[in-house]
Amino acid sequence: MIFDLAIIGGGPAGFFAAECAGNQGLKVVIFEKEDLGGVCINEGCIPAKSLLHSIQAYNIVKNAEKYGIEVDKDISFNMPLALKRKEKIIRNMQHIVSSKFNDDIATLIYGHAFIKGRTTDGNITINCNNQSYQSHNLLICTGSRPDTLQIPDIDSSAICTYDALLNSSEVPQKLVIIGGGQVSLELAHIYNSLGTKIIILEQNDEILLDTDNEISAILREEYTKRGIVTYLNTEIVKIEGNTVYFKIKGRSMTAEGEKILCDIGRVPNLEGFGLENLDVECYRKGIRINNQMQTSEPNVYAAGDVTGFSKSAHAAYCESSVAINTILGIKDQMNFKAVPTCVFSSPEIAQVGITEEMLNLAWQPHKIIRIPLTQSSRYIIQDEEFEGLCKLIVGEDDTILGVHIIGNNCTESIIAAVMAVESQMTISEWKKIVFPYPTIGEIMKGALIYAHIPFEQHKYDRSNTRQ
């Protein structure tokens, strides 16, 4: 059989693409060398969110009196039980994904797929488990893996990966985290809540590199209040035993941890599956694609982390959907400016669109509207101790360019901002949308009230350029 579509990789991009294509009548084969669901379900997103939810419940119980609940003062966190619940959730998610596949949707092949090249009639040949498969189209969804430190002196058994931490029943007394990205900050919240002393070493001048700097700084300051120490502009020199040697502007310093987590980003999986047998253009971040997810090779597409864009499951879903529509001849394209980012720290961060820093670098005039989340009654009910912030960025023509929020549960309401940015709504158009009350999301409607009060337009300022 010659398939209409072959998919390499059964993570979010791959399994969603197979489901979409199969339901549209395409003959699909999908190859997965390990477990369906990829890193998201099996190692990263879902396991971390499961533990974060357990920690949230733990923190609520610890502070039960302020909610009018009297509990036994001897409260403890049972990590083995929390891990058991996490594994149950992972199994449930794996079952949900695998149950979608049958002969009518896609042929699922477990094994290591390898691209052999093209046949004389232009079909793409893939080998797996000593069998050969042909397809008119190929979608590459091979994902990414954690990046590694490029320093000469690393001699430590204390170094661990995020998935090792998420599977460990032991809570370290001291934890050094190299990198101030999303995973780092979520794990910092988990272990800080359990009493671990945490030091974060970030090489840039602010944590969460692609997040609006004002929002990132607020989170860092909040973490500092909780005892989490963060060093910025660090250069890792070496790691010996339980000690990380680093520099800040030439000054030598050290940080010690029972465990040392390295989370400096992810790199695309471009090797080991025969990509070199096709004329696919790659660059330092991954496979180069256009807005229809097409590569430089005819009938070859890519989606998910391997493209080097937003490394999130929700972006992967949209990318694979665009790829399938393109294969079917349905006009579609990916709008990467409208892909939201959610950080499940405490407080949470949710954002979509352009940041203030991007506009300043582009010398693009814009307006900024700020409003505290405490102007939402629902927010005060659930979090009266942290003020929070909703930051709207508006263009000269009143188009909504970006929305950046910090405050717990803001990740549940960012979809309203995503729709505004995706649709290129103006202030007056977004004002017409009815936001339910009382909800946290209505804070965006509240911010719009202030949109036409005169305020200074922000333009690029050379004096604020970072050196």
pLDDT at res. 453? 55
Lowest mean pLDDT among 80-94, 225-239, 344-358, 452-466: 452-466
Tokens 């009143």 found at: 398
C-alpha angle 219/221/227, rounded to 5°?
A: 105
By CB atoms closer than 10 A (0-12, 13-18, 19+), residue 393 is buried
Taking the C-alpha atoms of residue 117 and residue 87, their distance in angstroms, rounded to an integer, is: 39
pLDDT at res. 452? 63
pTM of the model: 0.93
Domain ranges of the chain: 2-145+267-337, 153-264, 347-457
pLDDT at res. 284? 77
Write down the CATH superfamily of domain 153-264. Answer: FAD/NAD(P)-binding domain (3.50.50.60)
Strands (E) in 148-233, as ranges, are 153-155, 159-160, 174-178, 197-201, 229-231
* Six-digit token string for 371: 């409003």
Q: Taking 70 as the threshold, does the pLDDT of residue 467 lie above it?
A: no
Taking the C-alpha atoms of residue 82 and residue 79, their distance in angstroms, rounded to an integer, is: 5
Phi first, then psi: what are they for 81, rounded to 5°? -70, -40
Q: Taking 80 as the threshold, does the pLDDT of residue 456 lie above it?
A: no
Q: Would you place residue 463 in the very low, low, confident or very high pLDDT band (cuts 50, 70, 90)? A: very low
Residues 6+ apart with CB under 8 A from 5: 17, 21, 26, 27, 28, 29, 135, 136, 137, 138, 139, 324, 327
Q: Tell me the per-residue pLDDT of 421-451, one tens digit each, with 9 for 90 and over.
A: 999 999 999 999 999 999 999 999 999 887 6
Write down the CATH superfamily of domain 347-457. Answer: FAD/NAD-linked reductase, C-terminal dimerisation domain (3.30.390.30)
Same fold, 153-264 and 347-457: no
pLDDT at res. 301? 98
pLDDT at res. 311? 86
Looking at domain 2-145+267-337, its CATH class is: alpha beta
Q: Above pLDDT 90, what percent of the chain?
A: 84
- Cβ neighbours, 10 Å, residue 175: 26
